Amino acid sequence: MIAAPRLRLSHDDWRNLRTALPFVLPWVIGFFAFTLYPIIYSLYLSFNQYSGFGDAVPVGIANYKHMVSDPLFWKALYNTGYYTALAVPIGLVVAIVLALLMNQNLREVAIYRAAFYLPSILPLFALTFIFIVLLNPRFGAVNYFLGFLHVPTINWLGDARWTKVSVVILAQLGAGGPALIFLASLRAVPVELYESARLEGAGPIRRFWHITLPLITPVILYDLIYGTILGLQIFTPAYILVGGTSGGAAYTAGPENSLLFYVFYLYKNAFQYSDMGYASAMAWVLFVISIVLAVLIMRWSRYWVHYEAD
Amino acid sequence: MTLLPGRGIRALILSFLMVTACSTGGSTGSAPPLAGCNSGTTLATFWTSHTPPDSDSLKNIVTAFNKQSNSTCVKLVQVPGSETDIAKLTTAVRGGTGPDVYMLDRFTVAERAAAGVLEDLTPYGAASLGSSYLDFAWQEAQFKGKPYALPFDTDTRALYYNKDLLKAAGVDTSALDARDKPVTIDAVRTMANKVNKKDASGNYTTVGFIPWFEQGWHYTWGFAYGGTFFDKAACKVTPDDPKIVQAYKDMFWDWAGSLGVAQAQTFISSYAPPNLPTQQNAFLTGKLGFMISGDWVLGNIQTYVPNLKYGVTYIPVPHAGDAAATWAGGWSMVIPKGPKNGKGGYEFMKYIAGEPGQRVYTKETQHTPTFKSLTSDSTLFPGDHSFFSKQLSAAHSRPPLPVGGLYWDQLSTAQDAATRHTTEPAAALATAASATNDKLKQYCPLA
């Protein structure tokens, strides 16, 4: 076994390091103070009862035990799992399709790219408000068009069966970001491969299936992991969609708490019920779930991701 | 060329000093901190999550205060938040950038005081002000026998009805117009059913009455049925009181069943979607025959639909001869932990929650004052407002609990389950009881 080489810095290296340090220090301090410290502190808080003020009272693993018997915790976990399982694959397909459209060899493709990307630069907050109007069961554009197809009235935001689907549809308006990454990977696929496939008589579907798709699998893997982590943290649409209604559901997270996503429930515990300890414990459980899912996806990816070096 | 290490550090220090110098603009002696304030005053910040039209009235009160105060200059800031959501406040207070005065829903005062967010107002001399306020409002402002808030407005709830809509449906409203005693729920049901109309696709275009719309909360019907929400001696919430269970069954479960669960929800989603502007309320736009709501709606009608022909009467009761019941809510003024100008903040609190502030707020927003001397001033309650203020003496109020927000959410979850026929009221309320009591026990006994 060979020992790892010792890091040896020359005089110049040291001098450069001393010069650079003051410039990177603000970031390093920021990382320690605003990222690492809160992470460690939240682990400590998860074993305490703490309102955010006064002294934290140690309670051992009581916060973690409480989760097991808390029906809203399981409801939130179910809602989040349901949303992620639906939003991630759909988001992946939408992003790839958008990227393929943006990759067309047309003169005015720049205009299309801008148009497809436009919804992604709008704040989610504004998009959600627009969505509320579009999804109105009687006066919204979505049901109006579905009416032509004789689809019965869907109460998108007032029926627990449709609320999460509505949020999944809303999430697709942000597909422009991942689509740009897919576009970059599509443009990195060597043109010669398509040319030789075309000479062999391969049609567009076959070319996509056997050349494009395998070569963009590393980006699909990235999007899958990133999308899963973001999906587990879904918060903003639910927060706005359940806001101030006079219909009697303002204090439940959507009909039958169907929009009580994990982070939303965590937020309610932290800032509405002043239970920072329980909220911290929930955050750590989510962290563990995210890690486990990421590792599982990485392992699974061995069977279908193709790297160019392979 | 690389900079010498010493020069790098010197550059950094220099930049820091420049930024610091720029950010600490010196004060100019006794100039007022804000336009409209008097010279020599010190700044106090006041945060509210209220929106127009109520926040317009708060602005007027702040302006009037600033004009007359020689020591304090108040800056009003509108912040995100709601009755139970004070995320902005708690994070700011922890960060040392909280306000000097915050407008807090009064039924959560005990909860926030228990969490340590609020300053005890005893050192400011608030304990001596108790006799100036209506007793229930003053009790809501206490935690463990100490004052943590000064009560601001209150309100009571009643049954609004749209006279034109009812008349067009052939309903005789004389029993409602008489306003001598509450009508029964059955009588209202009979009238309301005549108003219900559907279009060709089976969706309601007008509905007579949806008991859980607007202020038709769990507390509203629980009190109407004579229910008790909290057992002080046992230090336990009691949403599973048989009277409350019956209220849930009659007003939520059965009523939703007779309207059609899905159709009722579609009507609400269509005419009362999330974040709807006040002026588009289904009652104000003539889509609802009856609505339970508070006195502030009088102001909304005046502002947005002054020609609406409406009436106001008691909340209906289960049986003929039952006493009328309503409940009073309202807001309060608090000093959050670590104020920069607590003394100035308290001076403003005494003004806004005192006679001058509450007088303006009552006149401009049609809320009801909690300041005793104002409740007997008939000039403040023109027209139907007097009906609401007269109900105040017999009004119930929500139990001021250190888990009040959680309890409200739990009752709402059970209400939602009942109106959607997903969980029977008895089971849903039993869950609400155990979840709330589980959190409440750490604070027991409540002084």
Residue B22 lies in a domain: no
Determine the pLDDT at residue B150.
98
Q: Which residues of chain B fall below pLDDT 50?
A: 1-5, 19-28
Residue B6 lies in a domain: no
Do the Cβ atoms of A248 and B111 come within 8 Å?
no
For chain B, the three-class secondary structure string (H helix, E strand, C coil) is CCCCHHHHHHHHHHHHHHHHHHHCCCCCCCCCCCCCCCCCCEEEEEEECCCCCHHHHHHHHHHHHHHHCCCEEEEEEECCCCCCCCHHHHHHHHCCCCCCEEEEEHHHHHHHHHHCCECCCHHHCHHHHHHHECHHHHHHCEECCEECCEECEECCEEEEEEHHHHHHCCCCCHHHHHCCCCCEHHHHHHHHHHHCEECCCCCEEEECCCCCCCCCCHHHHHHHCCCCCEECCCCEECCCCHHHHHHHHHHHHHHHHHHCHHHHHHHHHHHCCCCCCHHHCCCCCCCECEEEEECHHHHHHHHHCCCCCEEEECCCECCCCCCCCCEECCEEEECECCCCCHHHHHHHHHHHCCHHHHHHHHHHHCCEECEHHHHCCHHHCCCCHHHHHHHHHHCEECCCCCCHHHHHHHHHHHHHHHHCCCCCHHHHHHHHHHHHHHHHHHHCCCC
If asked whether residues B134 and B106 sit together in one domain, one would say yes
CATH value at residue A296? 1.10.3720.10
ipTM: 0.83
B residues 148-187 lying closer than 8 A (beta carbon) to A: none
If asked whether residues B145 and B161 sit together in one domain, one would say no
Residue B334 lies in a domain: yes
Determine the pLDDT at residue A5.
65
Mean pLDDT of A44-71: 94
If asked whether residues B171 and B290 sit together in one domain, one would say yes
Determine the pLDDT at residue B277.
81
If asked whether residues B188 and B283 sit together in one domain, one would say yes
Determine the pLDDT at residue A249.
43
**Which of B5, B12, B262 is closest, CB to CB, to A15?**
B5
Predicted confidence (pLDDT) at residue A310 exceeds the cutoff of 70: no
Structural domain boundaries enclosing A66: 62-301
If asked whether residues B195 and B234 sit together in one domain, one would say yes
Residue B46 lies in a domain: yes
Residue B11 lies in a domain: no
Residue B225 lies in a domain: yes
If asked whether residues B127 and B99 sit together in one domain, one would say yes
**Residue A248: its chain B contacts at CB < 8 A?**
210, 212-214, 216-217, 268, 412, 415-416, 419
If asked whether residues B53 and B116 sit together in one domain, one would say yes
Residue A148 lies in a domain: yes
Residue A215 lies in a domain: yes
CA distance A137 to chain B (A): 6
Number of domains in chain A: 1
Residue A209 lies in a domain: yes
**Which of B201, B405, B420 is closest, CB to CB, to A273?**
B405
* pTM of the shown model: 0.86
Residue A308 lies in a domain: no
If asked whether residues B312 and B341 sit together in one domain, one would say no
Residue B23 lies in a domain: no
Question: pLDDT tens digit string along A209-261?
Answer: 999 999 999 999 999 999 999 999 999 888 888 764 444 445 678 888 999 99
Residue A9 lies in a domain: no
Percentage, residues of chain A above pLDDT 90:
68
Determine the pLDDT at residue B98.
96
Structural domain boundaries enclosing B136: 42-155+329-393
Residue B355 lies in a domain: yes
Do the Cβ atoms of A247 and B269 come within 8 Å?
yes
**Residue A252: its chain B contacts at CB < 8 A?**
409, 412-413, 416
If asked whether residues B186 and B258 sit together in one domain, one would say yes
**Residue B269: its chain A contacts at CB < 8 A?**
136-137, 155-159, 247
Question: pLDDT tens digit string along A174-201?
Answer: 888 899 999 999 999 999 999 999 999 9
Determine the pLDDT at residue A105.
84
CATH value at residue B309? 3.40.190.10
Residue A183 lies in a domain: yes
If asked whether residues B303 and B409 sit together in one domain, one would say yes
Residue A239 lies in a domain: yes
Of B173 and A138, the one with more pLDDT:
B173
If asked whether residues B148 and B277 sit together in one domain, one would say no
Do the Cβ atoms of A158 and B269 come within 8 Å?
yes
Number of domains in chain B: 2
Predicted confidence (pLDDT) at residue A117 exceeds the cutoff of 50: yes
Do the Cβ atoms of A251 and B94 come within 8 Å?
no
Q: State chain A's mean pLDDT as an integer.
A: 90
